[in-house]
Amino acid sequence: MPATSTDYYEMLGVARNADGATIKSAYRKLAMQHHPDRNPGCTESEGKFKAISEAYDCLKDPQKRAAYDQYGHERYTQAASGGGGGRGHPGGDFADLGDIFETIFGGFAGGGGGRQQARRGADLRYNMEITLDEAFDGAERQITIETSQVCETCDGDGAEPGTGMRTCNLCKGVGQVRAQQGFFMVERTCPNCHGRGQVIEKPCSDCRGEGRIDAPQTLDVTIPPGVDTGTRIRLSGKGEAGPFGSPPGDLYIFLRIKPHKVFERDGSNLVTEVPISFTTAALGGSIDIPNLDGETITVEIPAGIQSGKQLRKRGAGMPVLQARGRGDLIAEIVVETPTRLSKEQKEILARFRETETGDECPKSKGFFDRIKDVLGA
């Protein structure tokens, strides 16, 4: 390795198109050779060790290497050291490595400079429980939430009335400051003005300069017909107020439907379980079901109906959210076996049983016929 070499590739003894593994291997070999512990008291080896470490630190990083390859050793090292070769200097066009990376990669460390945009207030969530009747008809609800709101004293700018703002002395109004970190010049939000570029001369006594205060807020919420559990209602701009007068967030109302005594919700359909007597199931008839809209729905029961059969009344269910029409009302039949019979009823049923041939209940007859076949009876 030439002692006077000023090129990182030459320092490590690798080609300019060498891959990362080759560069790493070359560095390890030279580092072991020139390490101060192996050459105690040798200033030449110590200097070489520092030089190859500097070369490897640059070439192992893809971004540093790209900047080095494009702008050369002299301008790269000048930018890394923060001297020479900057704007307004004869030696070059870049003030620091941050500028180089802005040119190559379109910004570095969130850079690009400029004042930081105002941070929007946080979105908030509110869980609301409503009845099935409210979900059917729609409703108006009023809620009160505790959240940050724009300070009325200073109108959200954080300054005591009658006072103003001045340019931040630390960032000079840019909103960001730069700090040297090794080879890099890193940009970060100004800690003094929090990216605004300006500072308050005298903070508001009510909000202490933040531009917002915590206070209860009462809001009207419109619940449209047809909502369901999980429906989300967005109230734009009713979330947390942004700091220093920046835009507020939104409030999201998440709905949950309370269980109903009669109906269950199945999408836009209403489902109810309807118990009927075994005589009605055998002979047929009709039942009346009071609906959520106040109307009475009459459902015809066909003779011979079985438990589990669903009878559907189209258009008598829930409204479809943000659309026309309604779902269906579904009556699920449950045939109830009597448990309290009078003596006369028992006698009537006993006489009926004496007349049974098996054809009255074909499923039952078919089941026992299959049993006989299996048993070979």
Q: Give the C-alpha separation, 70 to 76, whole Å.
A: 9
Order across the sheet with 269-277: list the strands. 264-266, 269-277, 329-336, 310-313
Going by their DSSP bridges, the two strands 212-223 and 139-150 should be labelled as antiparallel
Beta bridge partners of 326: 319
**Residue 171 assigned to a binding site:** yes
**Residue 193 assigned to a binding site:** yes
Q: How far is CA 273 from CA 244, 332, 333, 334, in A?
A: 58, 5, 6, 7
**Residue 204 assigned to a binding site:** yes
Burial, 68: exposed, middle or buried (Cβ in 10 Å; 0-12, 13-18, 19+)?
A: buried
Q: Give the C-alpha separation, 86 to 185, whole Å.
A: 13
43-59 helix and 62-81 helix, angle to the nearest 10 degrees: 130
**Residue 58 assigned to a binding site:** no
Burial, 337: exposed, middle or buried (Cβ in 10 Å; 0-12, 13-18, 19+)?
A: exposed
**Residue 154 assigned to a binding site:** yes
**In this structure, what token pair is assigned to residue 204?**
């508001």
Residues belonging to the binding site for Zn(2+) are 151, 154, 168, 171, 190, 193, 204, 207
Residues belonging to the binding site are 151, 154, 168, 171, 190, 193, 204, 207
